[in-house]
């Protein structure tokens, strides 16, 4: 989590009350960024210890959880979504809460000031009635929804 997604999150912060950000434990070593994250209630998880990470997330009550389902930054030269990790979907299904997909445009504006970053919040995807057996299909469905939105609205509109 860095750059435009972080800026987009701060921009949307006042519109999405009671939100908790989940980041990998390695962010704890980022000095002032880590301090700001800690003070804002960010939850740091160790992805190498899924059970401990899941327990940390279980302590969050009545809050929206902001998670990047790719689990890492996409630093490749091609514009694509990486495969989604299972944790965010497991959490949503266990809690029976909707998933609100958020898509960011590519970060071309960093090198070209005439372009801008776009953040789009998509329609919530319900998880009511789903079980752990439904998670792989849910992951695939969300991946497709986000990829379609990215290609239709974001990637093409800024080139």
- Domain interval for residue 88: 4-158
Our count of domains for the chain comes to 1
**Does pTM top 0.75 for this prediction?**
no
Average pLDDT (25-36) is 82
What pLDDT digit, counting tens, does each position of 10-20 carry?
A: 666 666 666 77
Q: What is the DSSP string of the chain?
A: --SHHHHHHHHHGGGS-SEEEEEEGGGGGSTHHHHHHHHTTPEEE-TT-HHHHHHHHHT--S-EEE--TTSS---SSS--PPPPPSHHHHHHHHHT--B--EEE---GGGT-TTS---EEE---B--TT--GGGHHHHHHHHHHHHHHHIIIIIIGGG-
pLDDT score of 40:
75
pLDDT bin (cut points 50, 70, 90) of residue 73 is: low
Q: Which CATH number covers residue 138? A: 3.40.1130.10
């Amino acid at each position: 989590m860095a750059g435009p997604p972080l800026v987009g999150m701060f921009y949307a912060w006042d519109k999405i009350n009671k939100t908790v950000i989940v980041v990998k434990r390695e962010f704890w070593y980022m000095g002032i960024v880590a301090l700001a994250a800690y003070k804002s209630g960010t939850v740091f998880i160790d992805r190498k210890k899924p059970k401990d990470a899941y327990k940390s997330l279980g302590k969050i009550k009545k809050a929206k959880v902001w998670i990047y389902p790719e689990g890492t930054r996409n630093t490749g030269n091609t514009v694509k979504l990486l495969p989604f990790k299972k944790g965010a979907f497991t959490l949503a299904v266990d809690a029976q809460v909707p998933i609100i997909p958020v898509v960011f445009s590519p970060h071309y504006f960093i090198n070209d000031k005439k372009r801008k970053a776009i953040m789009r919040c998509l329609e919530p995807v319900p998880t009511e009635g789903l079980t752990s057996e439904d998670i792989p299909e849910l992951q695939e469905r969300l991946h497709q929804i986000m990829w379609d939105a990215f290609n239709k609205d974001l990637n093409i509109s800024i080139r």
